[in-house]
Amino acid sequence: MSSIRALVVAGNGTNCEHETAFACLQAGFDEAASVPIWDLLAGEQRLADYELLCLPGGFLDGDDLGAARACANRYRHGRIAGTGQRLWDELRAFVESGKLVLGICNGFQLLVKLGLLPAVEPAPRQCVTLTFNDSGRFEDRWVELVCDPRSPCVFTRGLERLALPVRHGEGKLVCESEALRSQLDGAQLVPLRYAEPETGEPTERYPQNPNGSPRGAAGLCDPSGRVFGLMPHPEAYLHRTHHPRWTRGDGGQAEEGLGLRVFRNAAAFLSS
């Protein structure tokens, strides 16, 4: 079996690259490289050499033009030194090659703004967005999530419920049309939703739903299930002491946190 390698694109405002790379290693990747986007633009590192592309959380370009917008612009127009090729070309080739892409928080915002999610049309086009939370403010809080067992999403396979933190100001998922929203729901492209802790039902109630996303949508995948983005942070729950109520026994006694399962699913898919 060939080795599997994860690439975590860092720099220019990302801030979760260390724990995201660590999560990949813990999950069984043979290599997890945290590579500055500058090395990709310098042509020193190539996406094609990796099997999982992680776009970690942060504030790309300070989110100055809206979350991840300026960085989406950088991916679209930035050229790789010495080749004349755009980073965008490499990224599209990577997605089309059947490999895995995971965007977390700011990385999810980036995938959406590049039109790589939900990707229900042949050509990438931005048709949904992640906009300001209904509260109008950034918040850090843990939420309860429920997964859709019928979703094609590779990353949520076998997961039913999990608790993870959200840490964002722009996480409300808005579709350009009601028809598109129905289409996403119908095709099970919303693999996880904010849920009521007691019932596990998807919720629009604040603060269980921290941003006002309709029907509690917390993430999206493409129809192949290989490209996945989510607002909550699975890399923030790798160890049981990450759970906010671990001193109360919540989250169980296993040393490993449930967030790691998202990365294990990726490793399992690539190894099979």
Partner 1 sequence: MRAHRIEVGLREGFADAVGERLCKRIQEQLGIPVEQVRCVDVYTLDVDLTDEQLAQVAAAPYCDPVVQRSSVDAPLEGGFEWAVEISLRPGVTDNVGRTAREAAALALDRPFGPGEGVYHARQMRLRGALERDGVERIARELLANELIQQIRVLDASTFAAGGGFEPLVPAVVSRGRPAVARVSLDLDDEALQALSRERVWALSLDELRAVRAYYRRESVCAQREACGLSREPTDVEIEALAQTWSEHCKHKIFNARIQYREGDGEPETIDSLFDTCVRAATEVARRDKGERDLCQSVFSDNAGVFRFDEEYSLVCKVETHNSPSALDPYGGALTGIVGVNRDPFGTGMGARLIFNTDVFCFASPYRTQRVPRPLLHPRRVLEGVREGVEHGGNKSGIPTVNGSVVFDERFLGKPLVFCGTGGLLPARLHGRPGWEKECRSGDRIVMAGGRIGADGIHGATFSSEELHEGSPSTAVQIGDPITQKRLTDFLLRARDEGLYRAITDNGAGGLSSSVGEMAESAGGCDLDLTSAPLKYEGLAAWEILLSEAQERMTLAVPPEKKERFFALASRYQVEVCDLGCFTDDGLFRVRDHGETVALLEMDFLHHGLPRMELEARWSPPDEPEQSPALPEHHGALLLAMLGRLNICSKHYWVRQYDHEVQAGSVIKPLTGADDDGPSDAAVLRPRLDSLQAVAVSHGICPRYSDLDARAMAECAVDEALRNAVAVGADPDRAVGLDNFCWCDPIRAPSNPDGDFKLGQLVRACRGLHDTCVAYGVACISGKDSMKNDAVIEGLRISIPPTLLFSLLGLLDDARQAVSMDFKAPGEAIYALGTTRAELGGSEYYAQAGGRGGRVPRVRPAESLRLYRALHRAIEAGCVSACHDCADGGLGVALAESVFAGGLGAEVSLAAVPAEGVARDDALLYAESAGRFIAGVPRGREAEFEALLDGCACARIGEVIEKRLRIRGLAGETILDEPADALKAAWLAPLDW
Instruction: Assess 252 for contact with partner 1 (CB under 8 A).
Output: no
Among 46-54, 63-71, 183-191, 219-227, which window interacts with partner 1 (CB under 8 A)?
63-71
Please indicate whether residue 147 is annotated as part of the active site: no
22: nearest Cα among 260, 271, 272: 260
Instruction: Assess 238 for contact with partner 1 (CB under 8 A).
Output: yes
Pairing of strands 5-10, 31-36: parallel
Of 16 and 111, the one with the shorter C-beta distance to partner 1 is 16
Please indicate whether residue 105 is annotated as part of the active site: yes
> What does the alpha-carbon distance between residue 29 and residue 31 come to, in Å, rounded to a whole number?
5
Q: And the tokens for 176?
A: 């350009």
> What does the alpha-carbon distance between residue 188 and residue 178 come to, in Å, rounded to a whole number?
15
Secondary structure class of 267 (helix, strand, coil): helix
Identify the active-site residue in 19, 147, 168, 233.
233
Write out the DSSP string of 55-68.
Answer: E--B-GGGGBTBTT
The least distance separating partner 1 from the CB of residue 136, rounded to whole angstroms, comes to 3
Question: Contacts with partner 1: how many residues (CB under 8 A)?
Answer: 67
Identify the active-site residue in 105, 127, 153, 175.
105
Of 226 and 262, the one with the shorter C-beta distance to partner 1 is 262
Q: And the tokens for 197?
A: 């802790």
> What does the alpha-carbon distance between residue 78 and residue 94 come to, in Å, rounded to a whole number?
16
The least distance separating partner 1 from the CB of residue 8, rounded to whole angstroms, comes to 13
Asked if 87 and 80 count as a contact pair (C-beta separation under 8 A), the reply is yes
Site string for partner 1, 181-210 (x = CB under 8 A): ------------------------------
**One-letter amino acid of 111:** L
Provide the binding-site residues for partner 1, judged by CB under 8 A.
Answer: 10-16, 18-19, 22, 36, 38-39, 41-42, 57-59, 61-66, 69-70, 72-74, 76-78, 113, 126-129, 131-142, 165, 167, 172, 174-176, 212, 235-236, 238-242, 244-245, 247-248
Which residues are annotated as catalytic?
Answer: 105, 233, 235
